[in-house]
Chains A and B, each alone.
Chain A
């Protein structure tokens, strides 16, 4: 391929030049460089056109994507094309990943290698989610990004662990490598990354599309939560060496989910798949059932794969079922003891948590210092899962008194157990009392 040199200038399609500063990374289709253009720093993806099956169509597709714009701000979307060289090589500019984001690959590895500028040696730096909220929020963000993309009539095609950057403190997500995104039904030669590819692609009978994206999305989510391969268990490990034909078998013709309730032939193996064994038992059934659905009937019936909106609902529920106990233990309600319909108890320290029941759900949200609910949970018409609508806080004057603070933009009506109604305007709060009722004013009520 034609590699660029440091200091080299690349002409942009609509004038101006991008100057190469250094190399950032290499992938299957080309090299990414740090460049300067119009006084700003950008990432330049520079293609090895020999590796692209139909370069002209491929370039046209990127141009269309640039014109359409990103489906949301969660995408590091192509911004400007370079001029095409005489030999057909070209590239595009995109925004740089902010330093606060880590690659999903590093999260899966639990560390990243950084070269110490003093010694030149590679040093391991840990990369982990700092809290459970952030991890579940990252899942919701990923799912939501693909929901937006699919709603725009496009498919990602090459969904894999190399396609995301995540902020491990907040769960914010940036989707990168957007250059294979194409209108659903079109494909410019990319097959996908093995392990993430839908079985029908591995078998050679389908090309990437929105339905195969859904399979890959389920793999990404499984890897993020369970830290293992959903199809690699005893059956696969028995092969010892993963040759091309065993791969075709285990990921295509005869893929078996490690927790298929009707087929125990491929269970995770202790000593190899310890993460999967450990984490599978922590999650509530509605999450496990969604993965079972995706990786059993969904293997052969693409239309039965879990849709993004469904994933989004499930994980918004999961986020509301986190308990951060005072003893330091953080887990889902499924790992706490339910002493009665409304109360959870920490099995480690014995602390009890009351809960809030919403009128539109059949599950309750545990109440603890710092717990939150979001705009989409109190307003049927809202899809905003990031704006905090209410939060459990300690009263600033009376230490030890806990209450719910209205952080939304609307005034709530609260009926106290004494039968009196109070209006709680934004910024105000009220104590947590058993039997208390809240009307959020948008068709949803809640009761402690």
Chain B
């Protein structure tokens, strides 16, 4: 090795040592104890799966658009300093369409009003959702995530093979750990089918009138995002060491309890049914 090379090597080493020193003490641009960025957060995506088939036309879709516009500001604060909440909306009629090409931060999200037309390709929607619920697609946050909230709203029975779509979804781990809820709008919606989607009847709700629709969407969406955006308070009254099996699906159970509690507290008396007066 020539002397010149030696010098160069030495110089490099000094530079590296200098860089270390810089890193420790002399990086003036970045050593201010007050120059914090926002605390590191976990992320949560709320998926809304919305039926926009022809039968939703008129009052149903109008009411739904209005309540969704109002809902967004209401769930803005649920993440507090712990969670970055994002929203993704998938609509299904004859085709399956995302409102935006990726989940949007709740603070920047603007509802774009939906129109209803066509048939109910729910199975396709399940398949599409499953393909997007992946680290390589919509759930690509580098930080830690909470399992997503998935909220399905429909007024009828699928016109395609929803079982095949549901099977694809059920094989997806994000779906397995996710918080699932469904809203049946009007009397055509099928509870059993919706419970197949959620995995439990407790998180399936119904709306038969405009007032109920607004209320149910808000209660379910707000409750689910509150539970979804926070870690669980796992402790119970037993005072015994908890195991993984004790806490499995604890959030889904809690969501079921809270929704049922809400429904039981509701007065029966609500006004005009969706299925009358058309």
Interface residues of A, Cβ cutoff 8 Å to B = 1, 50, 53, 104-106, 108-111, 113, 122, 124, 128-129, 131-132, 135, 161-162, 191-195, 197, 201-207, 223, 225, 227-229, 232, 236-237, 239-245, 247-249, 251-252, 271-276, 278-279, 281-283, 329-332, 335, 337, 347-348
Contact = CB atoms under 8 A, between A and B. Distances in A.
Given A109-B38, A329-B28, A243 B241 contact: no
B148 to A, nearest CB: 9
A156 to B, nearest CB: 16
Most chain B beta-carbon neighbours within 10 Å: one of A244, A272, A348 = A244
Contact of A227 (B32, B36, B234, B242): B36
B30 to A, nearest CB: 6
B40 A248 contact: no
B233 A193 contact: yes
Given A242-B144, A330-B32, A248 B234 contact: yes
A272 B40 contact: yes
A223 B80 CA distance: 14
Contact of A279 (B36, B38, B142, B248): B36
18 contacts: A105-B81, A109-B38, A122-B73, A194-B234, A195-B82, A203-B241, A207-B235, A227-B37, A227-B38, A232-B144, A241-B177, A242-B231, A244-B234, A245-B248, A247-B232, A272-B142, A276-B40, A330-B33
Given A240-B145, A241-B177, A248-B244, A273 B80 contact: no
B240 interface: yes
Nearest to A110: B38
Contact of A135 (B34, B107, B143): B34
B247 A108 contact: no
Interface in B20-37: 23-26, 28, 30-34, 36-37
A247 B144 CA distance: 11
Contacts of B30: 278
A110 B36 contact: yes
Given A50-B261, A194-B232, A205-B239, A236 B144 contact: yes
A192 B232 CA distance: 10
A50 B265 CA distance: 11
B142 to A, nearest CB: 6
Nearest to B174: A241
A244 B232 contact: yes
Given A161-B80, A282-B33, A329-B28, 8 more contacts: A1-B265, A128-B36, A204-B236, A245-B247, A252-B234, A330-B34, A331-B32, A347-B28
B143 A237 contact: yes
B99 to A, nearest CB: 20
B249 interface: yes
B76 interface: yes
B8 interface: no
Nearest to B73: A122
A201 B265 CA distance: 32
A80 to B, nearest CB: 28
A142 to B, nearest CB: 16
Contacts of B261: 50
Given A204-B242, A232-B144, A276-B40, A108 B234 contact: no
B230 interface: yes
B2 interface: no
Contacts of A248: 234, 242, 244, 247
Nearest to B242: A204
Most buried by A among B36, B107, B242, B250: B36
Contact of B233 (A53, A191, A329, A330): A191
B263 to A, nearest CB: 13
B61 interface: no
Given A223-B39, A244-B250, A248-B247, A202 B235 contact: yes
Interface in B171-201: 173-174, 177
A275 B246 CA distance: 35
A102 to B, nearest CB: 12
B4 interface: no
Contacts of A244: 232, 234, 247-251
A240 B135 contact: yes
Interface string B144-161: 111100000000000000
Q: Which 4 A-B pairs have the closest CB atoms?
A: A194-B231, A108-B81, A245-B244, A204-B242
B81 A232 contact: no
A335 B26 CA distance: 8
Contacts of B237: 53
A285 to B, nearest CB: 13
B42 interface: yes
B242 A203 contact: yes
Nearest to B250: A244
